[in-house]
Chains A and B, each alone.
Chain A
Amino acid sequence: MNDISEKRRRPVSGRARIPLDGFGFILPSLILFAAVFAVPIGYVVMFSFQTDEGASLDGYRWILDSNLFGRVLWTSVQIALLATLVSVILGYLLALFLYRLSPRKRAVGLAFVLFPFWTSILVKSYSLTVLLGREGVVNSTLGWFLGYNPELPLIFNRIGVLIGMSNHLVPFVVFPVLANLLAQDRNLGQAAAIMGASPFTIFRRVTLPLSTPAILAATLMCLIISFGFFVTPALLGGRTDVMLANLIDLFTRETLNWTVASAIAVVLLTASIVLVLALSRLTGQQKAV
């Protein structure tokens, strides 16, 4: 997928001649995934095509007929794309910053990235309420400087969702990008500098192109994660910030209409797979360059 793993996999000596090459190594996880992932997914697909009365397309008919689905799908796409964009930019900048630190400082910096990564998303969402609220830390601090509370609407709207989601997603960008940056040959940058390139040109023409695979991998991860987001839009969003996962929850747990819930899940899954394929094609082309 990206060139670091490629490098690591290359055997150092000739002793790696184990007969269980490739497929043998992934067999255990393949079996596990078949059991705990493929089988349930198979059930979901099956459920989506049947009601209590037998085989039926009612689930998909609901999707086509309902204006709820279209709206929620569009919201989900918007939120996923925006959150991914924000997270990739912030994460990339953060990775660049960490990359420039000494290894020791970098370890401290990484710990700060890891803290939110390890914290429950529920806890994070509630903490953000405290920070971003009408009388929250951000607004009261601004109020202290301004002399009045500006009551910036940072929460219970799209902004709140994006802040909450990027808070969750940034680590997923930092790790692959930082790994990529650290694996880049520093001589390339020096060579460019010797040839008279400005730091910005070095970044634009050397560092950034070399890190594209990591950016694409991070983008892909963010998109997939954010497309299925659930807690953050519910807690930090406004009334219009409803995502597909929230809709699936409504049909699964509240109305017990598993036909519609499964049909939505199948559409969500298919859309995610199409996204993954499209992006991995992009990644593939990138590698060929």
Chain B
Amino acid sequence: MTIFSETGMKRRSFLAGTGAALATPFLTRSARSQSKQLILPTYGGSYQEMIQAAYTDPFTQETGVEVIFSGVPDFARLKAQVTAGNVEWDVFEAGGAWFPAGSKEGLFEPLDPGIITETDLIIGENKDYAPFYDTPYGIAWNSGKYDGSAVPRSCAEFWDVDRFPGTRSLRGRADFVLEIALVADGVDPADLYPLDLDRAFAALERLKPSIPKWAESTSQLVTLLTANEVDYDYVPNGRVRATEDTATPLAISMDQAFISHEYIGVVKGTPRRDTAMEFVAFALRPDRQAAFSELISYLPGNRKALDLVSEDAKKWLPDMTTGKHIVQNDDWWAAEFASTQQRFQEFLLL
């Protein structure tokens, strides 16, 4: 997605989570595993540490399969691997419209309901991927600058520069921005799709003068706040939590979150198909999903895991019962991303 690693989590919570992962009940060694290795891409950094703590290390413990990380999740590379018949990755994990688009292009193996026990999670036209986790973005600010008593807490307030003066930032990508613009303009989050593009761009045009920088990456969204380059932007809650014990802590409102999905699937043509299926099955298990949520404070793709998440971690998560949150529809984006992003790019240039 970008040239930068995706997350920044503090070491303490990582260590705490490792402990939790080790404390989970030891399960029987799977007899099904056929190969001793599995290769997957990763965003690296502390994100990789958390993936290891919640998923790959316990998986190796249970099955004896060694998990090797190679490269960054990149749709172009995935497509190149599959079309060239030279598959390196066995399991693929990525966010946004890549999965529905890749599913249409036949880049994934249909998930085997014989191996994947959480069958109700299997989605896609070819039943070939599953939700891994959801990333909730909320309005964040620098707690050194604002005490949180008079900050925007909804999309409409984010747009209201008269009531909440100050600069803003958003990602320089249509699929991180248009839904927020529409809800700010008064569209009910439940009736967003198909997106009314003209209305969205008109709303963006109004906020444009208040956005000195359209962030290139998620990490830049954080940097812009910590360096006081902008006053408010939409940041994943985990990124804000990671600043808790730093010199420039940020704060976030989860009142009206923007929720994007991350999916997991098995790469078409992998020689280690069954092992890869087993890993996906393992990764969807509520206990693993909860362990990961505990570390990163994103919503588990398998919502059953929510019951296992501690209250301390839950306070970072958006309350999904309010109906105020924007839940992204990646099927719409898979069909419309190319043309919409081009239009967005033109909007930025003018």
Interface residues of A (CB under 8 A from B): 66-68, 71-72, 75, 122, 126, 129-130, 133-136, 155-156, 231, 234-235, 238-240, 242, 247, 250, 252-258
Contacts and interface: CB of A to CB of B under 8 A. Distances in A.
Nearest to B230: A134
A240 B348 contact: yes
B338 A156 contact: no
Contacts of A250: 341, 345
Given A231-B3, A235-B216, A235-B220, A254 B349 contact: no
A247 B227 CA distance: 28
Contacts of A75: 349
A168 B349 CA distance: 25
Interface in B76-103: 76, 79, 101
A156 B212 contact: yes
A126 B3 contact: no
The binding surface of chain A is classed by DSSP as: helix
Q: What are the 6 closest A-B residue pairs judged by CB atoms, nearest first?
A: A255-B338, A239-B348, A156-B213, A234-B216, A253-B76, A135-B228
A68 B346 contact: yes
A255 B337 contact: yes
Contacts of B338: 255, 257
A235 B224 CA distance: 11
B342 A68 contact: yes
B173 to A, nearest CB: 8
A35 B101 CA distance: 32
30 contacts: A66-B342, A68-B345, A122-B4, A133-B228, A134-B228, A134-B229, A135-B227, A135-B229, A136-B227, A156-B229, A231-B3, A234-B216, A235-B216, A238-B212, A238-B213, A239-B214, A239-B349, A240-B349, A242-B348, A247-B345, A250-B341, A252-B76, A253-B75, A254-B173, A255-B337, A255-B341, A256-B75, A256-B76, A256-B79, A256-B101
Given A156-B212, A247-B345, A254-B173, 18 more contacts: A68-B342, A68-B346, A122-B3, A122-B4, A129-B223, A129-B227, A133-B227, A133-B229, A134-B229, A156-B229, A235-B216, A239-B172, A239-B211, A239-B214, A242-B349, A250-B345, A255-B341, A256-B76
B112 interface: no
B74 interface: yes
B227 A130 contact: yes
Given A231-B3, A235-B220, A253 B348 contact: no
A137 B213 CA distance: 19
B342 A254 contact: no
A183 to B, nearest CB: 39
A66 B345 CA distance: 12
Interface in B137-189: 172-173
Interface in B37-94: 74-76, 79
A67 B346 contact: yes
A130 B294 CA distance: 32
Q: Specify which of A122, A126, A234, A239 lies most central, judged by the most chain B CB atoms within 10 Å of its CB.
A: A239
Nearest to A255: B338
A255 B74 CA distance: 12
A254 B101 contact: no
Contacts of A258: 76
Contacts of B214: 239
A21 B60 CA distance: 57
Nearest to A242: B349
A153 B316 CA distance: 35
Nearest to A257: B338
A122 B216 CA distance: 12
Contacts of B349: 68, 71-72, 75, 239-240, 242
Nearest to A62: B342
Contacts of A129: 223, 227, 229
A40 B158 CA distance: 46
Q: Specify which of A134, A247, A255, A258 lies most central, judged by the most chain B CB atoms within 10 Å of its CB.
A: A255
Interface in B220-278: 220, 223, 227-229
